A and B are shown apart, each in its own frame.
Chain A
Amino acid sequence: MENFMELLLQPLRDFGITILQFVPNLLAMLIIFIAGFLFSRLIKLLFLRIFRIINLDIWCDKAGLTAIIRKGDVWSKPSDVFGGIIYWFLIILFLVIGLSALRLPTIDNLIAQFFLYIPRAFSALVILIAGYVFAGFISRAVLITAVNSGYHYAKILAEAVRLLLIVLILAMSLEQLQIAPGIVIAAFSIVFGGIILALAIAFGIGGIDAAKRIINAGEPEQPEQPKQNNEKKNDKEREAEYL
């Protein structure tokens, strides 16, 4: 009977011990959460002040970053947007650190993966921003060149170049983030390859005469053929047609 009671009580005792061991971890997690929340708010306020001092909003307006933010239908000030990003990044960071205080192996694995992913996310962000600016620059250059050359569809051409570059940049960013890399690369190859093929076919069909002229212009001049035979032939053909 005593053994039976022991069998019943032992799991409860073990559970109690586990709870007792877990409570400090839980408390540590809660403290980290609260401290993290307060710290994140403080850092956000600090950054907002710094942004105000360095006139970040005006800089963003002039650099065209505000226009990019607005394209996403975000209508807060750029400094508020960046402040918000910093705030939520810190909140997630402290959430992860707080969860690690629980010392659960599954969560520890997730946290390790999260920290490994941060550099990838950062590089994807850099690719996106730099790529967007680069695409704008190239598109502008194409527009100016095409307009100066008197090309009628200059704006459409510039927008097409810009779209192509943005597709390329998005593919690079997604590949960097390791979001279905196989599909992204395959989709990009198909789309980009398709566009280039379409352009090549279009140029081939539309520019066949131009290409002929270019090729002929590069060829050395042919020695003059005796024309008599041809002329005779032509005369005969004309006679035949006349008859």
Chain B
Amino acid sequence: MADFYQNDLIITLHRLGNPGLERIESELMEFTRQRPVALVLPALVTEFEGEAIKGIVAELKKVRYLREIILSLGRANDKEFQYVREFMSQLPCEVKVIHNEGKRIKEIYATLERNNVWPGEDGKGRSAWISYGYVIANAQSDVIALHDCDIVTYNRGMLARLCYPVANPNIDVVFCKGFYSRITDKMHGRVTRLLITPLIRALQKIVGPNPFLMFMDSFRYPLAGEFAMITDMARTNRIPWDWGLEVGVLSEVFRNYSTRRVCQVDIADNYEHKHQLLSADDAQKGLMRMSVDICKSIFRFLAAEGIVLSDSFFKSLQVAYIRLAEDTMVKYEADAAINGLKFDRHAEASAAEAFSNAIKIASDTYSENPMAAPLIPNWNRVTSAIPGILDMLKKAVDEDNR
């Protein structure tokens, strides 16, 4: 990234000149003596069949400043769990694998459910949430960093830059989100480019200046799955268990912390991971499902802020969104042209139409039941409901990893 522009609300940390990975890592070694860092990795067992995780582990082997790594493993049987444990044991720091399908963790979920603490459906949100619980129970780390396990272009510089602002005691930041561009021979990141940004700006047009919408618009890549935060945030923030995870996390950060203590950091020149199909005809699959969940999450937060979301509001929103999405497409077409990237105008327009449909589905669903928030309660509430739950969780994970 060539510019050094700062927006009004949050801090933006650019990649300027040659920052030097060794310098950042050596400083992190110092900082993490005061603020130890835990890395949370939500993963499905199928990801261990691919090449991305091997690259990630090869890079993490060189990282020396992490106190612990917690890998939350989904959809694995006991044999696969043991394989993943062995695979992860090559890392130099303490590694704990959470066996979400194991009898102990299942009993933890059952305990939560019978006490009316709904831990949500199986997915990244629940995996991240249970990992935060373990970090809190283990009481070893003051900072939590999280990234996905399907990053093909992973290097340890990403993690270092992600952790640096929160681990550095001289930078008063509680939450740091990564940003990057996603290009191959064309631009990716359709949901961010063609749904989130035009939708947020369309909402701003209708609602007027709104702190939450301005906050959301400040992020260069609001759907980036990579972030770092102080461990206390894991106690106070709720997490959505559906596809609205990233937007939901930002909403909770906005709600509970000052925007001056939030930053975004340029973690990579390029980023490549598993691509999802649009599934324009099926709102239960692919990017369509993600889009519907994201829209619902934004609508619910706006309603909670006291904004009236009526039928006429949603009708205006759809029209405003389509106009802005079309304008955005023109900008991206020009951007692609100057950079020599392919740009399929028809595919982009089809995606925008599908997203418009997603907004309609989300608004209908919201209107039917505005209270149905897919949020997992924060850990403060959970420990209030079941005082011994963190001890139980620690015991379950430690026994599984014995």
Contact = CB atoms under 8 A, between A and B. Distances in A.
A, B from the same assembly: yes
B392 A70 contact: yes
B103 A62 contact: no
B114 A58 contact: yes
A57 B387 contact: no
A57 B110 CA distance: 11
Contact of B392 (A57, A58, A66, A77): A66
Interface in A52-70: 57-58, 61-62, 64, 66-68, 70
B277 to A, nearest CB: 39
A77 B111 CA distance: 8
A71 interface: yes
Interface string A33-73: 00000000000000000000000011001101011101101
Nearest to B398: A73
A75 B114 contact: no
A67 B114 contact: no
Contacts of A68: 388
A62 B392 CA distance: 13
Contacts of B391: 67, 70-71
Interface string B350-375: 00000000000000000000000000
Contacts of B396: 70, 75
Interface string B376-389: 00000000011111
Contact of A61 (B104, B386, B399): B386
Given A75-B103, A75-B104, A75-B107, A67 B115 contact: no
A57 B386 CA distance: 11
User: What is the size category of the interface that chain B forms with chain A?
Assistant: 10 to 19
A73 B395 CA distance: 8
Contact of B387 (A62, A75, A77): A62
B386 A70 contact: no
A57 B112 CA distance: 11
A57 B114 contact: yes
Nearest to B105: A75
B115 A64 contact: no
Interface string A97-110: 00000000000000
Contact of B114 (A61, A70, A73, A76): A61
A73 B399 contact: yes
A77 B386 CA distance: 14
Nearest to B388: A67
B399 A64 contact: no
A61 B103 contact: no
A64 B388 CA distance: 6
B262 to A, nearest CB: 31
A73 B110 CA distance: 16
B399 A66 contact: no
Interface string B333-354: 0000000000000000000000
B363 to A, nearest CB: 38
Nearest to B110: A77
Contacts of A73: 395, 399
A57 B111 CA distance: 8
Interface in B89-144: 103-104, 107, 110-111, 114-115
Given A57-B114, A62-B387, A66-B392, 10 more contacts: A61-B111, A61-B388, A62-B386, A64-B388, A67-B388, A68-B388, A70-B388, A71-B391, A75-B103, A76-B107
Interface of B: 103-104, 107, 110-111, 114-115, 385-389, 391-392, 395-396, 399
12 contacts: A61-B114, A61-B115, A61-B386, A64-B387, A66-B386, A67-B389, A67-B392, A68-B388, A70-B388, A70-B391, A71-B395, A75-B104
